[in-house]
Amino acid sequence: MMGSADITPKFRGKVAVVSGAAQGIGAAVVDALAARGAAVALLDVQPCVEDCARQLSQHHGRQMLGIALDISDSAAVTDAVATIEATFGPIAILVNVAGILRMDAVLDISSEDWQRTFAVNTHGVFHLSTAVARYMVQRRCGSIITVGSNAANVPRARMAAYAASKAAAHQFTRCLGLELAAYGIRCNIVSPGSTDTPMQRQLWTSPDAVNSILHGSPADFRLGIPLQRIATPQDIATSVCFLASDEARHITLHDLRVDGGATLDA
């Protein structure tokens, strides 16, 4: 976990909710928000999220909350958000990170994998965002950030379900932001490219996998990364913190690409 001594506590006194909080980008976002003063409610399908919250509480010296749930379950999400609001405090920041990747060729992917991908990556964003937004509207303030993917804008071989589900989540977040702007609520997207996470590493099926990501792979119709580095989860987390902060108070409906230039602004 990162230390908090040298980071401005710009979120002190604020409650943040992060889905997919137990590992990867979600865990980095939680730690970055906590280091900047936020009290964080961690949501994840993995039961270990409760232990993660306890460890975070000890590290930062203030209460954190861990809730194990499946964000594709609308009733469970509604109950969890109500619990957070009633016992933990008014939610000021929501970060949608939870996501799954089921890879296969379009003609081979199963209906079950297609539906499950949308259940988490798209419907989960809808359930959590709308549940939180109903409270934010009453207070006429708040920030909602969806961590999507640059695959929402550039087609990827064997990733049709993932790319389509992320594209839907992107456009939903923009539409939500348009409707909530009148209440002073900002809705933005952070679109990572290749990032060193467990999800990314499941794509590294050969010793040359990282090199092909950095330099491109014509056989896979894939561009390389101009900055020639794989992002870290912390790269994504700091971008999320910027959009959640008052420094971005006039930014909404924005898609911030954090991909080293991989999509060439496509």
Quick one: how far is CA 163 from the chain centroid? 15
Mean of pLDDT values over 171-177: 98
- Per the CB < 8 A criterion, the answer to whether 132 and 142 are in contact is yes
* 183 is an active site residue: no
Give me the percent of the chain exceeding a pLDDT of 90: 76
Mean pLDDT, to the nearest integer, of 19-32? 97
From residue 38, how far is each of 12, 109, 188, 211 by CA, in Å? 5, 41, 19, 38
The SS3 assignment for 96 reads: strand
Please report, for the domain that includes residue 170, its CATH number.
3.40.50.720
User: What CA–CA distance (Å, rounded) separates 167 from 103?
Assistant: 16
Residue 90 counted as domain residue: yes
111 domain-assigned: yes
Residue 197: CB atoms within 10 A of its CB come to 20
Decide if 214 is inside a domain: no
Task: Reply yes or no on whether the pLDDT at 221 is more than 60.
Answer: no
Reported as half-sphere exposure (CB side, CA atoms, 13 A), residue 242 has a value of 13
Is residue 250 predicted with pLDDT exceeding 70? yes
Q: Where are the alpha helices (DSSP H) in 102-220?
A: 111-118, 124-139, 160-180, 198-201, 209-215
Q: Is 221 within a domain?
A: no
pTM, full prediction: 0.91
Domain membership of residue 82 (yes or no) is yes
Q: Could you say which DSSP state residue 21 is in?
A: T
**Average pLDDT over every residue of 245-253:** 98
**Confidence band for 3, pLDDT divided at 50, 70 and 90:** very low
Tokens of 188: 């933005």
Residue 218 pLDDT level (bands cut at 50, 70, 90): low
Please check the confidence at residue 6 and state whether its pLDDT lies above 90: no
Range of the domain at 111: 15-195+232-258
Residue 199 has a pLDDT of: 60
For residue 219, being part of any structural domain is answered with no
Q: Are 91 and 84 in contact (CB under 8 A)?
A: yes
- Are 30 and 40 contacting, i.e. CB atoms less than 8 angstroms apart? yes
Q: Distance between CA 251 and CA 147 in Å, rounded?
A: 16
pLDDT surpasses 60 at 200: no
- Residue 108's identity, in one-letter code, is D
Residue 222 lies in a domain: no
In a domain, 226, yes or no: no
Number of folded domains that form the chain: 1
130 by DSSP, 3-state: which? helix
Catalytic residue of the set 162, 168, 173, 195: 162
Tell me: pLDDT of 174 over 50: yes
Q: Which of residues 80 and 215 earns the better pLDDT score? A: 80
> Distance between CA atoms of 103 and 180, rounded to whole angstroms?
34
Contact 38, 93 (CB under 8 A): yes
